């Protein structure tokens, strides 16, 4: 009889814990969605930064060619 009481109490406790876990999984879902959105925004910003860096490097290369061209023409 004690075993039945123990098993019944254990089952109730297990059900309560399961319900609490389910409430937590439901509470976490919007946070997961927000995290995914923020991670995408970070990736987008990183892409923009890379594009700007590439543009800067191309511009630096053009400037160097112009400076070199000016130096050559001034020597003549």
Return the pLDDT at 72.
Answer: 87
Cα separation, 14 vs 60, in Å, equals: 67
Q: Is the pTM of this model over 0.75?
A: no
The per-residue DSSP string of 8-74 comes to: HHHHHHHHHHHHHHHHHHHHHHHHHHHHHHHHHHHHHHHHHHHHHHHHHHHHHHHHHHHHHHHHHHH
Q: Please, what's the largest Cα pairwise distance for the chain? A: 110
Instruction: Kindly tell me the burial class for residue 51, based on how many C-beta atoms sit within 10 Å of its own C-beta (0-12, 13-18, 19 or more).
Output: exposed
Give the pLDDT confidence of 27-59 residue by residue, as tens digits. 999 999 999 999 999 999 999 999 999 999 999
Using the predicted structure, report yes or no on whether residue 24 has a pLDDT greater than 80: yes
């Amino acid at each position: 009889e004690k075993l039945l009481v123990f098993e019944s109490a254990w089952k109730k406790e297990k059900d309560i814990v399961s319900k609490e876990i389910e409430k937590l999984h439901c509470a976490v879902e919007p946070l997961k969605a927000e995290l995914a959105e923020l991670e995408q925004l970070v990736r987008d910003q990183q892409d923009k930064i890379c594009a700007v860096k590439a543009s800067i490097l191309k511009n630096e290369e053009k400037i160097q060619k112009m400076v070199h061209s000016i130096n050559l023409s001034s020597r003549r």
